[in-house]
């Protein structure tokens, strides 16, 4: 039996929160029921590459 997987909605939510400055991957992982590494990879665009990334924030 494999690990729980992120849904498209969860990936997009994680990316939006990452773009907004949230970096608490453990919190998101608990919320989504997956590993911290799965959330980090999805939020940073290392996985689910077919899904769009939010625009980069200007500083």
pLDDT at residue 56, as a whole number: 77
pLDDT at position 1 is 52
> Could you write out the DSSP letters of every residue in 1-59?
-------HHHHHHHHHHHHTT---HHHHHHHHTS-HHHHHHHHTTSS-TTSPPPPPPP-
pTM (2 d.p.): 0.85
pLDDT (tens digit per residue) in 9-24? 999 999 999 999 999 9
Q: Which residue has the higher pLDDT, 3 or 26?
A: 26
Give the pLDDT confidence score for residue 34 in this predicted structure: 96
């Amino acid at each position: 039996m494999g690990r729980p997987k992120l849904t498209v909605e969860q990936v997009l939510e994680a990316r939006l929160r990452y773009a907004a400055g949230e970096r608490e991957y453990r919190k998101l992982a608990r919320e989504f029921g997956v590993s911290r590494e799965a959330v980090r990879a999805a939020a940073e665009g290392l996985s689910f590459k077919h899904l769009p990334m939010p625009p980069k924030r200007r500083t």
